[in-house]
């Protein structure tokens, strides 16, 4: 298995000491956020314009009522920050970028889906753990990471065989579920003060049964997408 590595561009830059224990993963991410002095505007991203469209592997959560309710609860508690909240139909876990929709055809996506061989015991059961933040967003930590890393490796291998390699290596993958995007420079200490009480909330369980290829676009203060292909995850190991 490809191991996670220190990646300065990822957050946290260093992977956690365990990929399974939810409390350790959440504590590691909170400690990393403790080293951030100022949050930055998430939307200040070179290369993204109103006309940008790109394909991504993504997990979405349209029927995850417990996750949606917890996200709403936390967003309400964070209202004083005036960040850009993610709508309930916008909650997602990004697995990787496939490529620009102007450069990748639907036939290529069909070949990509056909080349995926999921051999792990799935679907994936996750815990979403309130609450932490990164340089540009407030988010749930998730655990365990192991099945998500295994899945991403499978998707990356399929991309390689289909001539559609993922933009970033799995070594820098840091799975999470965002709930609110920072929309300006803000002292991180201010955010930590508001977020800290939410860390006492219980984790919520989420089951992942599908992975989607989506065409992602950016609208004012939000990401939106259209699902273009869906991969159903098996409920038992393939033989």
In angstroms, the first-to-last Cα distance of the chain is 20
Q: Nearest-CA neighbor of 84 among 141, 44, 27?
A: 44
Establish if 170 belongs to a structural domain: yes
Domain assignment present for 48: no
Q: Are 86 and 137 in contact (CB under 8 A)?
A: no
Q: What is the pLDDT of residue 50?
A: 82
Q: What is the CA radius of gyration of the chain?
A: 17
> What are the Cα distances from residue 166, in Å, to 54, 142, 155, 186?
12, 22, 8, 32
Domain with residue 132: its CATH number is 3.90.1140.10
In a domain, 148, yes or no: yes
Residue 13 falls inside a structural domain: no
Which residues make Cβ contacts (< 8 Å) with residue 15, sequence separation at least 6?
A: 4, 5, 6, 174
| Number of domain units in the chain | 1
Chain segment 16-72, per-residue pLDDT in tens: 999 999 999 999 999 999 999 999 999 998 878 888 999 999 999 999 999 999 999
The domain containing residue 162 runs over which residues? 22-43+53-232
Q: What is the pTM of this model?
A: 0.94
The crossing angle, in degrees rounded to 10, of helices 106-115 and 146-161 is: 120
In a domain, 7, yes or no: no
- Residue the block writes with tokens 């504590």: 27
Q: Which residues of the chain have pLDDT under 50?
A: 1, 236-239
Where residue 163 falls (left for φ over 0; alpha for ψ -120 to 50; beta otherwise) is left
């Amino acid at each position: 298995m490809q191991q996670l590595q220190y990646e300065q561009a990822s957050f946290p830059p260093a992977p956690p000491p365990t990929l399974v224990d939810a409390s350790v993963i959440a504590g590691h991410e909170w400690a990393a956020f403790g080293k951030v002095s100022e949050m930055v505007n998430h939307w200040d991203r070179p290369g993204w314009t109103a006309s940008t469209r790109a394909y991504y592997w993504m997990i979405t959560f349209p029927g995850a009522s417990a996750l949606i309710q917890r996200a709403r609860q936390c967003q309400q508690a964070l209202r004083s920050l005036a960040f850009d909240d993610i709508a309930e139909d916008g909650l997602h876990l990004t697995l990787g970028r496939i490529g620009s929709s102007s450069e990748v055809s639907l036939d290529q996506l069909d070949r990509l889906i056909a080349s995926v061989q999921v051999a792990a015991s799935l679907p994936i059961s996750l815990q979403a753990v309130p609450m932490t933040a990164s340089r540009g967003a407030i988010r749930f930590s998730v655990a365990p990471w192991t099945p998500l890393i295994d899945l991403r490796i499978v998707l990356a291998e399929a991309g390689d065989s289909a001539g559609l390699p993922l933009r970033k290596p799995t070594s820098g993958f840091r799975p999470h579920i965002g709930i609110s995007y920072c929309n300006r420079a803000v002292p991180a200490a201010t955010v930590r003060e508001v977020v800290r009480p939410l860390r006492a909330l219980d984790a919520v369980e989420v089951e992942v049964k599908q992975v989607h290829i989506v065409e992602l676009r950016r609208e004012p203060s939000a990401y939106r997408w259209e699902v273009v292909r869906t991969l159903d995850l098996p409920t038992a190991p393939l033989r």
